Amino acid sequence: IDYTGTEPSSPCNKCLNVSWDSTTPCTCTINFTLEHSFESNVFMYYGLSNFYQNHRRYVKSRDDSQLNGDNSSLLNPSKECEPYRINEDKPIAPCGAIANSMFNDTLELYRIDNDTRIPITLIKKGIAWWTDKNVKFRNPTGDGNNLTALFQGTTKPVNWPKPVYMLDSEPDNNGFINEDFIVWMRTAALPTFRKLYRLIERKNNLQPTLQAGKYSLDIAYNYPVHSFDGRKRMILSTISWMGGKNPFLGIAYITVGSICFFLGVVLLIIHHKYGNRNTSADIPN
């Protein structure tokens, strides 16, 4: 579901020129229909296009020691974070361009049954890699578990509406260990990518996770992409016993195999035509 809003008829067109420092959130709703039911667990992604997370300076613009909870790096971030290292004479936490550009749209899904909107439960935990959540990203340490006190002396990233210790109300999903933040910090290799946003778990075996029918997507439109001709979309996907549907590997294998076969045929012809030539340097009598 593309909700960029570039088309004048799109419900999100009114939010197209939203800016990072907008004080009033812009909301829009897109209705859509699922032609087929989703039987197993459903994965909800957000997708971005024309966003180059693979840019060399962008990828380097972070401080892994700070993200790992090192107290000295918290107050003295790496110079790799410039120009998002210090703001108003305070160190930025988390510093760097990756964190500064974190995706912050809010998506809510509803099923429409007889003109009644039934909310779909979206699970926000379990979307990040276990090693990221438990090893690479840690909150600062100190007396007590009060994140407000632990992050004292730092300031929020320039484009963020609130500081890192207010990302979530649950302590095990707040600060540097917030899973939305962790997912964003794992940079994508291509300019068109998707990142896991929420999980929709199957409740029982008698009914599908998402029934075929009408749905609506409520969007708090905060993330500006129109300035760089980007696009935003929401993706619903599921997996079977064979895994997810991803044609990339199949296309890559067929392409590489075809190239190898073609080169093999060319080299066979060259060997057959020129391989038996007399290479002796002796001059016949």
| pLDDT per position as a tens digit, 168-196 | 999 899 999 999 999 999 999 999 999 99
Q: Is residue 119 part of a domain?
A: yes
Q: Is residue 70 part of a domain?
A: yes
Answer whether residue 273 is part of any domain: no
Residue 284 lies in a domain: no
Segment 5-18 mean pLDDT: 91
Residue 135 in any domain: the answer is: yes
Tell me the CA end-to-end span of the chain in Å, nearest whole number. 82
In a domain, 265, yes or no: no
Statement: residue 31 has pLDDT above 80: yes
Does residue 170 sit within a domain? yes
* Domain count for the chain: 1
In tens, the pLDDT along 197-244 reads 999 998 877 788 999 999 999 999 999 999 899 999 999 998 765 666
Question: 271-285, pLDDT tens digit by residue?
Answer: 888 876 665 555 555
Give the pLDDT confidence score for residue 146 in this predicted structure: 87
pLDDT at residue 17 above 80? yes
Range of the domain at 142: 13-248
pLDDT for residue 144 is more than 80: no
pLDDT digits (tens, 9 = 90+) for 244-253: 666 778 889 9
In a domain, 274, yes or no: no
